[in-house]
Structure 1
C-alpha cells in the first residue's frame, strides 16, 4: 500500500513538473498541430504520462460517469486545446457548448482575479451587486434582442439541471396556485417530448424520456407524459386544464440529435398552454445565448410563441458553473418567500462572469459573425453530405449548434476517434449524429482546418 501511494505521488510530481513549461505562456511552442498534416496518432498508451496518470492517479478515485478516451487535457487557448502528450487539437466541442468565448479568455481571467480579491461568496441571505446586475441584464437584454417580452425575474443557480429543477418547482407552484391556492395535488403533471434531454437529477431526469438514462434509477417522479415534437395532436391528447401544470421543450434539441422544432408547432404549443393554463418552459441550456445565431433560439420566433420560463446555463459562465431560470411576472406572483433557494447560486464571481458573457453575446456584430461562421460550416457539411450519400443522411441544426446525421450502419464513434487522432475534437448526439458546437468566436481559419480533418476522417472511415 505504501509503495502504491509513493508511486502515485511520484507520478503526480512528475506530471506537475512537466506541465509547468506551458503554465506561463498557455501554449506549447512545439505542440503537434492538426493543421499541418493528418497525424493519425492513436490515443496515448498505458505506458505514457497520460496512461500512468489515468490508471494510477485519476481513474481509481473517480466515480464512474462517462466512457472516456485515454486523453488528459491540460490547457487551451481560444479554439485550441492541448493534452498531456503535448498534442494540439482544434476544439469543435467547446466543453459541450460551454466555452462560447473560447479557452483561457483574457477578459474572463481578469474578472476572476479581480473578483477573487474582493468577494467570492456571501450567500443569498444578503444582496450582492454582481448578482443583481446579472439578473437585470438578462431581463433587459432578452427583451431588447427579441426574446421573451414578458421576462421579469431571474433565479440564479449553478447548473442547467438546477435551472430545470427550479422551473419544475415554479410550474408546480403555479399549478397549485391556480387550482385551489395550493390545496390538493390535481394540477401537477408535466408534458415533455421524445428525444429531449433536461438533466441528470431525479426531477430533470423524469423529464428526459430516454430509457438508457431513466431505467437504472426508476421509479422517477410520476405524472410526466411524453409527446412528439412537431406533432401538436400528440400534445392535445395529453394536455389537461385540470392536471397539466407545465410543458417543457428545447426549441433546438441538442443531445437528442440536433433537431430544430418547427415554428408553427411552437406557436400552437403556446396557444394550447394558454388554453389549459399550463406553464410553457423553454430549455435553452444548450441552444440559447447566441448558439442559434440570435440571443435565444426562441428569438427566431414571433412573440406569440414566447414562453413563461426560460432555463439557461452552459455558455453563461464560459466554463465557470452557473445557471439561471428566467420567468414572467405571472410565475413570480405564484411564489412566496422560502419556496426555493440556493447557497452558491448568484455568487459574486459567477455573476460577474455571466454579466460579461451576456455583454459579449448580446451584440449585433457578434451575432452576425456567428451566423457568418454558421454559413461556412453548413456549406461544407452539405458538400460532405452530397459527396457521401452512402454514409450521411442530412445536415441539421442552426447557428453553431449543428449536426451531421449518418445512416444507421455507420459507426460514428469510429469517426470521432479518427478525428481525435488527427487533432480535432467532436462529439456525438442521438440519432447517429455528429454534433458540432465550437466556440461562438472561433476563427475562420480554425473552421476551415477542422472541417478538412473531418472530411479526411469521414472519407477514410
Structure 2
C-alpha cells in the first residue's frame, strides 16, 4: 500500500523536532550536528533569534495579499538585492525550481522582443542541477532526471563540464543563453575556476547572448561572498537564487539587469505566493545579517579553519576519503568508500552530511558555525570514518 506521503524520497529514519544554531534534536532526545543546513537552506542556522522575531512580528500583521497589490516587504528586499548585486530588478518566487522556469522564459522573451525569435536554445553542462520542473530536468538532461518524463522540453544543448572549446563551437544563431552553476552542488561540489568564469562572460559577450547563473545553492554567503560569481569579478545577465535567501522560509528570486529583463512586461509572468509578506520579511533579515560588517569575513575565517581541519581528516583516513573540494562553507569530501556508507556512519555518530554525485558527501553547515562546532564536527566525522574503516566488506 502506498504511504500517505508520496514515496519519492529514500528518507533516513530520523525525526527532528527542534533546531538550535548548528544543532538538530531528534524525537528520542539525541543531538545531531547539522552540516547539511537543509541542503544549504538554513544559512543562519536553526531558530536564529532575528529571523524568529521578524517572522513572528510579520505573522501577527499580514500573511498574504497577492501580487495584485504593492507589498512593502517585497519592495524592501528587492531594493536590498539591487543595492548589493549586479541586478536592476528582481522577481520573487517560492523556490529555485520556479526561479529556473522564469530565467528560461526571460532569456527567450528577450530575444523574441529583439526580433530574433529563433534564439531559444540554452546551453547547459553535465552534472548540473536546476530543479525538477520540466525546464529544470530538460536543462540537466541526465538519465536519472529525465527517464520516464518525456517528451522533454526542447531547446537545451548539453556540454561536458569545463569544455570551453566545445562551448564556443556550440553557439549558433539559435543560442539564447548559457546556464551554469558557479559551483555545482548536486553534481559533487565542482567549482567553475575563476578563469573559466571570466571566459564564459567574454564568450557570451562576443556572441551577443545572455549568461544565466544558477546560484540557488552556492549563493547568499555560502562561498564567502554574497554570491559565488563575485570571486571571478564578473556579473551575469540573469541569476537564479533560493535556498539560503529565506534562511529556512520558502523563498526564491530571479535577479536581472534592466536589459535582460526588458521583455518581461505586465502579464508575462506571475506567482500567487511569490514575494509574500512573510517570506520577504524573513529574506530582508537574512540579507541584512549576511551583509552586516565582518559577517562574510567571519565566514571566510571559519571556512579556512574548517578546511584546514578537514585536510587533516582526509590525510588520516586515506581509505575513506580521496580529496577535499569546494570553497567557503560549500565543501565536498570525495570518498573512496561508498559515500552513502559515510553518510550513514555520520548518522550513527550524530553528524549530518548530504550525499552528492561523483561519490561526494557535501558539507553545507550554517554560516554561523562556531569554532566549537568545527571541533565537534571533525571529531564526529573522524569517528564516522573510523567506523567505515572497521566495517567488513
TM bracket, shorter-chain basis = over 0.9
Work out which of the two has the higher radius of gyration on C-alpha atoms and give 1 or 2.
1
2:146 counterpart (214, 235, 239): 214
Residues 1:237 and 2:169 are matched in the alignment: yes
Shift of 1:276: 2.1
Q: Deviations over 1:140-177 (max 9, x none)?
A: 022xxxxx3xx200001100111111101000101212
Q: Any conservation in 1 of the 2:124–2:179 contact (CA below 8 Å)? A: yes
1:273 counterpart (196, 201, 204): 204
Could you tell me how far apart the structure 1 residues matched to 2:12 and 2:137 are?
Answer: 26
Residues 1:436 and 2:363 are matched in the alignment: yes
State the SS of the aligned residue for 2:264: coil
Residues 1:197 and 2:126 are matched in the alignment: no
Q: Any conservation in 1 of the 2:348–2:384 contact (CA below 8 Å)? A: no
State the SS of the aligned residue for 2:188: coil
Shift of 1:389: 2.9
Could you tell me how far apart the structure 2 residues matched to 1:227 and 1:327 are?
Answer: 24
1:352 counterpart (281, 286, 305): 281
Could you tell me how far apart the structure 2 residues matched to 1:364 and 1:167 are?
Answer: 31
Q: Any conservation in 1 of the 2:197–2:229 contact (CA below 8 Å)? A: no
Shift of 1:423: 1.1
Q: Any conservation in 2 of the 1:231–1:265 contact (CA below 8 Å)? A: no
Alignment of 1:311-326 (within 5 A): 311-326=240-255
Q: Any conservation in 2 of the 1:206–1:224 contact (CA below 8 Å)? A: yes
Q: Deviations over 1:389-444 (max 9, x none)?
A: 3332211000000001013xx11211111111111111111100010000000111
Shift of 1:380: 1.5
Could you tell me how far apart the structure 2 residues matched to 1:116 and 1:387 are?
Answer: 49
Q: Any conservation in 2 of the 1:283–1:311 contact (CA below 8 Å)? A: yes
Distance 1:232 1:364, change over 3 A: farther
Shift of 1:231: 2.0
Q: Which runs of 5+ in 1 are unaligned?
A: 1-54, 143-147
Residues 1:121 and 2:64 are matched in the alignment: yes
Shift of 1:205: 1.3
Q: Which runs of 5+ in 2 are unaligned?
A: 389-393
Shift of 1:273: 1.2
Q: What is the RMSD of the two structures over their aligned residues, measured on CA atoms?
A: 1.4
Q: Any conservation in 2 of the 1:179–1:187 contact (CA below 8 Å)? A: no
Alignment of 1:163-178 (within 5 A): 163-178=99-114
How many residue pairs get aligned? The number is 388
Alignment of 1:97-112 (within 5 A): 97-112=40-55
Could you tell me how far apart the structure 2 residues matched to 1:189 and 1:81 are?
Answer: 43
| 1:24 aligned residue | none
Q: Deviations over 1:152-206 (max 9, x none)?
A: 00001100111111101000101212234xxxx4110110011111000111111
